[in-house]
């Protein structure tokens, strides 16, 4: 919301247009956050208080009991799923971002015979649905002994993330003035030194933006985790969450509390890196 307001200010809008745009922005934000408020209320209030709507505060007795119950569930403890998600998500973010950053720099700055064909192939890979690849991936992982392992799922997420991150960062690197690199070449720097000491630091906002998106993508994944992790002790958070609903009775408060706990880590990461995330999309490093 603040970034949108800041962008509108830079366009020097008239007071009337500014008021209209500001009102629309706040309305969009309110509509977007309204379902989350309902989920949060369901997670901290007894079911009896929600029968007539979460907005009814005639009786209000908040409690964190559902959060504790979700974290330490006797059969499906969510704390274990959160740890498993971190074990998979962190390397599945670092590996493709680093590899894609190097590939993106090569696509942006160097020329080689099959450059365009290779880049076009990566674009086609981005368009392939996960469901189309899951069966051959399943048999391949089983044949090499990586089925039902953290490493197997990390490799799958990393390989899936490299194409789109390469596409994202290639466009970002292409906008960096070449004068910086040419000056470094004149001073005797190698291309590796140029990449690690000039291009990578200058492109840090774009790289962080790609890392945040990849982290959120892997963290929220359910399909790959459902297919390639078979042992209950290795279930990730998104795999455990549906199991909290119970067999004969759906505890909506428990599900709501579990949903908020699962979404909390990527949301906190976004807020922690919000400054770099916004700058990565606006290309602040290229100004001036």
Full-model pTM: 0.82
Percent of the chain with pLDDT over 70: 91
Domains by residue range for the chain, with CATH: 2-63 (no CATH), 75-286 (1.10.3720.10)
pLDDT at residue 284 above 50? no
The band of 92, judged by pLDDT with boundaries at 50, 70 and 90, is very high
* Residue 8 pLDDT exceeds 70: no
pLDDT of residue 281: 54
pLDDT of residue 1: 52
Q: What is the pLDDT of residue 280?
A: 54
Report long-range pairs for 145-154 (Cβ below 8 Å, ≥24 apart).
147/228, 147/230, 148/228, 148/229, 148/230, 148/231, 148/234, 150/84, 150/87, 150/88, 150/234, 152/228, 153/88, 153/92, 153/224, 153/225, 153/228, 153/229, 154/88, 154/91, 154/92, 154/95
């Amino acid at each position: 919301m603040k970034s949108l307001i800041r962008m509108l200010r830079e366009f020097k809008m008239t007071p009337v247009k500014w008021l209209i745009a500001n009102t629309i922005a706040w309305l969009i934000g309110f509509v977007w956050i309204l379902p989350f408020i309902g989920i949060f209320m369901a997670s901290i209030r007894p079911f009896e208080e929600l029968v007539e709507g979460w907005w009814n505060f005639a009786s209000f007795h908040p409690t964190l009991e559902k959060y504790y119950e979700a974290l330490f569930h006797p059969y499906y403890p969510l704390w274990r799923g959160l740890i498993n998600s971190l074990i998979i998500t962190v390397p599945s973010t670092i590996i493709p971002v680093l590899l894609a950053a190097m590939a993106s720099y090569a696509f942006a700055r160097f020329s080689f015979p099959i450059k365009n064909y290779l880049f076009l192939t990566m674009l086609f890979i981005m368009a392939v649905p996960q469901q189309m690849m899951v069966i051959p991936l399943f048999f391949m992982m089983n044949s090499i002994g990586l089925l039902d392992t953290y490493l197997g799922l990390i490799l799958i997420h990393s390989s899936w993330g490299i194409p789109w991150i390469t596409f994202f960062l290639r466009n970002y690197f292409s906008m960096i003035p070449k004068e910086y690199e040419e000056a470094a070449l004149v001073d005797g720097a190698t291309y590796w030194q140029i990449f690690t000491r000039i291009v990578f630091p200058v492109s840090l906002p774009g790289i962080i933006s790609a890392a945040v998106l990849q982290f959120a993508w892997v963290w929220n994944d359910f399909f790959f985790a459902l297919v390639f992790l078979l042992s209950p002790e290795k279930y990730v958070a998104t795999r455990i969450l549906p199991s909290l609903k119970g067999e004969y009775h759906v505890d909506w408060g428990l599900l709501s509390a579990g949903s908020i706990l699962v979404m909390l880590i990527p949301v906190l990461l976004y807020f922690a890196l919000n400054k770099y995330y916004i700058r990565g999309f606006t290309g602040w490093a290229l100004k001036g």
